[in-house]
């Protein structure tokens, strides 16, 4: 019987290897065709300009959407194992999960009613 941690180490090595090979390998085999957009700083979603509009302030609405996404992301993180084990969990877990979803929807209702979902 090998040490139970050996597979874990193997997985870690695979992960590190994948990252190193992808990053280093790309610089060897990838084509190098530069244009203006390529040298911009990459910020997903926000138009990069030397000086953002409004005196360097970034609009808060993008982060609002991102936070809302994370809330539902975390909800699904809990929902998935719950769904897999549902047959063993019984009524108690169902009630708990409904309560959990309810609290998330309270936050969602607040964002929706206060105009957090309107882009402009």
Partner 1 sequence: MIASLSGLTTEFVATKINYGAVLPMLVVFGAAMIGVLVEAFAPRAVRYGAQVGVALVGLVAAFMAVVLAVGHQGSTLAGAVVIDGPALFLQGTILALSVLSVLAMAERFDGIGADAFTAQGAAAPGSPQESAAVRAGATTTEVFPLTMFAIGGMLLFPAAGDLLTMFVALEVLSLPLYILSGLASRRRLLSQEASLKYFLLGAFSSAFFLFGAALLFGYSGSMDLGVIAKAIGTQSGMDGLLVPGVLLVLVGLLFKIGAVPFHSWTPDVYQGAPTPVTGFMAACTKVAAFGAILRFVYVGVGDSRWDWAPALWAVAILTMVVGAVLSITQTDVKRLLAYSSIAHAGFVLTGLLAFDRVGVSSVMFYVVAYGFSTIAAFAIVSLVRDGGSEATHLSQWAGLGRTHPIVAGAFAFLLLAFAGIPLTSGFTAKFAVFSAAIGHGATPLAVVGVLASAIAAFVYVRVIVLMYFTESGGDSVRVVPPSILTSAAVTIGVAMTLVLGVVPAPLLDLASRSALFLR
Q: Using an 8 Å Cβ cutoff, are 108 and 67 in contact?
A: no
Q: Does 9 bind partner 1 (CB under 8 A)?
A: no
Nearer to partner 1, 30 or 90 (CB): 90
Counting residues that bind partner 1 (by CB under 8 A) gives 18
Per the listing, tokens 């996404």 go with 69
Task: Provide the token pair at 65.
Answer: 């959407």
Residues 75, 69: Cα–Cα separation, whole Å: 10
CA 30, distance to chain mean position in Å, is 27
Scanning residues 60 to 119, which ones bind partner 1 (CB under 8 A)?
60, 85, 88-90, 92-93, 103, 106-107, 109-110, 112-114
Which residues bind to partner 1, rule: CB under 8 A? 4-5, 57, 60, 85, 88-90, 92-93, 103, 106-107, 109-110, 112-114
């Amino acid at each position: 019987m090998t040490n139970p941690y050996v597979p874990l180490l193997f997985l870690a090595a695979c992960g590190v290897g994948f990252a190193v090979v992808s990053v280093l390998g790309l610089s060897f085999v990838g084509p190098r065709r530069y244009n203006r957009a390529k040298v911009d700083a990459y910020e997903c979603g926000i138009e990069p300009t030397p000086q953002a509009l409004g005196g360097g302030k970034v609009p808060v609405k993008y982060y609002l959407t991102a936070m809302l996404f994370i809330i539902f992301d975390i909800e699904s993180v809990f929902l998935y194992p719950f769904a897999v084990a549902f047959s063993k969990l019984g009524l108690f877990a169902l009630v708990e999960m409904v309560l959990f979803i309810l609290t998330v929807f309270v936050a969602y209702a607040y964002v929706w009613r206060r105009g957090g979902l309107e882009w402009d």
